[in-house]
Homo-oligomer: A and B are copies of this chain.
Amino acid sequence: MSHPALAYRPIFDDRETCLDRFRNVRAGTMRLIDGLAAEDMQIQTMPDVSPTKWHLAHVTWFFETFLAKPRLTGYQAFDPGFGYLFNSYYEQVGDKWHRPDRGLLSRPLLNRILDYRSHVEAAIEHLINSASDEEWLQIAPLLELGRQHEQQHQELLLTDIKHVLSLAPEPYAPFKGPLGEAPGAGESGYIAMSGGLVEIGASQADFVFDNELPRHKRWQEDFEIAARPVSNAEFLTFIEDGGYRDSRLWLSDGWAWVRENKISHPLYWRKTDAGWQEYTLHGLAPLQPGLPVCHVSAYEAAAFAEWQNARLPTETELELLARRHPAEGVLLGCGDRYHPGALTPGDGAQSVFGDVWEWSSSGYEPYPGYHPPDGAVGEYNGKFMSGQQVLRGGSCATGRNHIRATYRNFFPAHSRWQFSGIRLARRTRPASTLASA
8 Å CB contact of A81 from B170, B298, B433 = B170
A205 close to chain B: CB less than 8 A: no
A386 and B433: CB pair below 8 A?
A: no
Give A350 Cβ to nearest chain B Cβ, in Å.
Answer: 25
B168 and A106: CB pair below 8 A?
A: yes
How many protomers of this protein does the assembly include?
4
A106 to B163, CA, bound (A): 12
B254 and A168: CB pair below 8 A?
A: no
> How many residues of chain A have a CB within 8 Å of chain B?
73
A344 close to chain B: CB less than 8 A: no
A413 and B437: CB pair below 8 A?
A: no
A106 and B40: CB pair below 8 A?
A: yes
8 Å CB contact of A91 from B91, B170, B247 = B247
A209 close to chain B: CB less than 8 A: no
A351-378 toward B: CB 8 Å interface, digit per residue (1/0)?
Answer: 0000000000111011011010000000
B38 and A103: CB pair below 8 A?
A: no
A248 and B91: CB pair below 8 A?
A: yes
A85-126 toward B: CB 8 Å interface, digit per residue (1/0)?
Answer: 100010110000100010111110110000000000000000
Residues of B within 8 A of A170 (CB): 81, 107
Q: Using CB atoms, name the residue of chain B closest to A105.
A: B168
> Which stretch, A13-21, A213-221, A230-238, A265-273, touches the partner chain B?
A213-221
B437 and A43: CB pair below 8 A?
A: no
A8 close to chain B: CB less than 8 A: yes
8 Å CB contact of A42 from B42, B172, B197 = B42
A215 to B385, CA, bound (A): 26
A252 close to chain B: CB less than 8 A: yes
A262 to B221, CA, bound (A): 45
A177 to B183, CA, bound (A): 64
Q: Using CB atoms, name the residue of chain B closest to A101.
A: B167
Give A42 Cβ to nearest chain B Cβ, in Å.
Answer: 5
Could you write out 8 A-B pairs with CB less than 8 Å apart? A8-B434, A81-B169, A92-B247, A92-B248, A103-B103, A107-B170, A302-B386, A361-B366
3 tightest Cβ-Cβ pairs between the two chains A and B: A363-B363, A214-B437, A91-B247
